[in-house]
Amino acid sequence: MTASRLLQNFKGGRALIVTTNRAAVEALETTLAKLGVVSEFPEIRDGRAELDLAQLDPERDILFVDGDLDDVLGLESGPAGRLPAVPVIGLVGVEAPSRLKSLVHLGATSFLRKPVHGAAVYMALFLGVNQFQLRGGLRARIDDMERRRHGRRFVIKAIVRLMSQAGIDDDAAYDLLRRESMRSRLSLEDYCEEYLRRGANEPTRLAQGDTPERRANRD
Amino acid sequence: MKHYRIGVMFSTTGSYSVVARSMLNGALLAFQEAGTVSGIEVEPVIVNPNGELPRYAEMSQQLIGSGIRHVIGCYTSSSRKEVIPCFEKHDALLWYPSHYEGFESSGNVIYTGASPNHHVALLVDHLLGNGRRRAFCVGSNYIWAWENNRILREALMARRGRVLAERYFAVGDTELQHAVDEILEARPDFVFNTLIGTSAYSFFRLFRAACEARGIDQPRKIPIASCSLSEPELEEIGPDAVDGHLSSSVYFSSLATPANTIFTASYDAAYPDGPAVSADAEASYNAVKLLIQSLADAGTDEVRAVKAAVTHQRLNAPQGEVWIDPQTLHAWLTPRIGRSTRDARFEVIVEEAAPTRPDPYLVQSSPRYALARTPELKVVK
C-alpha cells in the first residue's frame, strides 16, 4: 500500500460498531450494507467491548467507537501509545473536549455525529480509511528515516576509513560508497555498515575499482 | 375518496428545458392515465424553477409547506442535491426521475432513473469490443460530468484503454470550437460526451461540421458516445448532425415492447408539439405510476408507508419490468445502447437480457483502489 492509492470501494469490509446506542447508528448499519460492508456489534460487558484487537485485520476491519463510552476498548488503562491496527471512526455524541480527546487518542481518523445520518457515511468511511492508510505510510517513512539516522555513524566511519586507506578525499569516498550501495541495492547506511563489517582490506580494493561484481566476473 | 396533491417540479424553461419538458409530459401522462385508481384522486401541482438552483430549494419548501408529501422532480444532480435537505428535514419524498452519477442514497428519495452501473458498464464493453480504446472526454462543468468521466476512466484503464484528455465547459456554454479543434488534433477512437443541454447540441453540430470540412466520416471514425443523449435532444441538434451517435440508456422510444407501443402512442397523441419522448420522460412516467399505485396500496401518503409499499411494486413499464430495490431505493432497469438515426430516433444495437440491479456506489464493479493519476516510478539516477 503506497500513500497515493486511495481506497474507494469497501466491498467485503467488516464494521465493528462499539456502542450501546443502537438506535443512533441505525442509518450507519443500513448505509454500510449498501456499500458492501457488514456490521457487527461487539458486546459490551462491564464497560468493556468484548473485542480482541489483536485479531482485527486492517485490510478488512473498520472500528466505529462511540465517544460517549469511557475507555470502552481498554486502551487508556493499558500501555501508552497503543493504537488499534485498523481504521477507527469516532461516533460523536457529546461534543465536549474530553470526549473528543478520547477519540483522538484512539487514533480516530474521521468522525460521525450521532444519530448517524446516512448521507455522511461514505464520506466518513472514505476519509477514515484513507487517512489511516496515509498515516500508516507516514509512520513507515518515519521509522525508515529513524533507522537511517542511526546509520549515519556508519556512513561517517566508512568515509573516514576509505579516505585514509585509499588516499582519496571525502567527496570521492562518498561517491564511491554511494555508487556501490546502489549497485548492491542497499541503502547507503546499510551498505556502509556492511562495508565496515567486511573489514580492512575491502576499501583499498574498492578505491582501485575492484568491486565484488568485477571480482566475480574475473573469477 | 382520498385526494392527494403531488408536487411536480421541472425547469421547463432555462438551458436544459428540452429534456425537462419531456419529463413533465411523461409525468402528466401518468397522472391522466391514473384517473381514479382504487379510490384515490391525485392532483399534480406544477412548479418551474427555471433552471435556477436557489429556486429549487424555495419551491420545494413551498410545496412541502403547503402539505404536499411527494414531489416528482429535478433533472440535474446539482438541483437534486439542493433540495434533498428540505425533503429530509420535513420527511417528504422526492421521486427523482433521471439518470445520475450515483454515490448517494437518501432515505427521502426514490430514484427511478438509471444508476451509473446501468449506463457506463455496457457502453465501455461495447466500445472496447469494437476496438475503441482511446477516449476524449468533453463535459459540462459539474458533478455529472466529473463523476462519469472518473467512472469511464477507471473502466477503460482496467482494460488497457486510455483517456487522452478531459475538457469542461460551463452549463449553457456554446463556444466549443476550441474543444473541437483539440479533439481533431488528438484523434481519439471516440468522444465521451457529458455536456448537457444547449452546450451538447452546439458541440454535436460543430464537431460534425469540422469533421465534414476535413473529409472525416465522423460517426465511423470518431463516434460520440453519451450517457444522457435522448430523442428530444436529437431533434434539437438538427438534421445536419443528428445521426450516428451512441447513447447508453435504459429506454429508447423505438423499443418494440407492447407497453412502449401504447406509451409512445399516448404520449404523441397528448403532446403532438413535443418534445419527443425521452428516457427521462419514461422515468418520470414510471415514477408517477409507482407513486400512485403505492399511495393506493398504502392507503395514506405518509412517507414511511409509501416507501414500504413502493418496494412491493412490479411495474410493466415501457422499457420492460421495473421495480425498486428495497436496500437502495434505486430502480432495477434494463441497460441498452442505441445509435441515432436520421429521423432523430435510436436503433437499439445492444441490450441486456434482463433488468440489472442498481449499484449506486459501484460496489460490484469499481476497482478497490482509485487509479493513480501518474505511474509510480522512482528516479534512480
pLDDT at residue B15, rounded to an integer: 82
CB pairs < 8 Å spanning A and B: 52
How far apart are the C-alpha atoms of A16 and A61, rounded to whole Å?
Answer: 7
CA distance B362 to chain A (A): 8
One domain, residues B265 and B145: no
User: Per CATH, which fold does A14-142 belong to?
Assistant: Rossmann fold (3.40.50)
Among B11-15, B27-31, B61-65, B280-284, which stretch is predicted with the lowest mean pLDDT? B11-15
Q: Nearest 5°: CA angle at A65, between A62 and A71?
A: 130
Note the pTM of the prediction, 2 decimals. Answer: 0.83
One domain, residues B146 and B109: no
Within-domain flag for B312: yes
Helix (H, G, I), strand (E, B) or coil at B80: helix
Q: Which residue has the cell 493513480?
A: B372
Domain ranges, residue B17: 2-115+256-333
Within-domain flag for B140: yes
The candidate with the shortest Cα–Cα distance to B119, out of B232, B229, B259, B234, is B229
How far apart are the C-alpha atoms of A38 and B292, rounded to whole Å?
Answer: 34
How far apart are the C-alpha atoms of A147 and B325, rounded to whole Å?
Answer: 54
One domain, residues B218 and B139: yes
Among A87-96, A196-205, B33-42, B141-150, which stretch is predicted with the lowest mean pLDDT? A196-205
Question: Chain B interface residues facing chain A, Cβ-Cβ under 8 Å?
Answer: 84, 103-107, 327-328, 360-364, 366-370, 372, 376, 380-381
Interface touch B370/A8, C-beta < 8 Å: yes
One domain, residues B12 and B110: yes
One domain, residues B12 and B158: no
CB-CB: which of B360, B362, B372 is closest to A5? B372
Q: Is the pLDDT of residue B135 over 50?
A: yes
Taking CB atoms and an 8 Å cutoff, what residues of chain B touch A182?
Answer: 380-381
CB-CB: which of B107, B363, B380 is closest to A9? B363
One domain, residues B344 and B212: yes
Looking at the structure of chain B, the number of domains it has is 2
Residue B77 near residue B333 (C-beta atoms within 8 A): no
Interface touch B328/A34, C-beta < 8 Å: yes
Taking CB atoms and an 8 Å cutoff, what residues of chain B touch A127?
Answer: none
- Percent of chain B exceeding pLDDT 90 equals 85
Convert the pLDDT of each residue in B342-373 to its tens digit.
999 999 999 999 999 999 999 988 888 886 65
Domain range list for chain A? 14-142, 151-209
Maximum CA pair distance of chain B? 83
Taking CB atoms and an 8 Å cutoff, what residues of chain A touch B362?
Answer: 9
CATH of the domain at B182: 3.40.50.2300
Within-domain flag for B361: no
Name residues whose C-beta falls within 8 Å of residue A216's C-beta, 6 or more positions apart in sequence.
Answer: none
Q: What's the first-to-final CA gap in chain A, in angstroms?
A: 41
How far apart are the C-alpha atoms of A37 and A32, rounded to whole Å?
Answer: 5
A137 C-beta neighbours (distance < 10 Å), count: 15
How far apart are the C-alpha atoms of A158 and B116, rounded to whole Å?
Answer: 60
Taking CB atoms and an 8 Å cutoff, what residues of chain B touch A9?
Answer: 361-363, 366-369
Convert the pLDDT of each residue in B253-292 to its tens digit.
999 999 999 999 999 999 999 899 999 999 999 999 999 9
Q: Which residue has the cell 444508476?
A: B115
How far apart are the C-alpha atoms of B268 and B29, rounded to whole Å?
Answer: 10
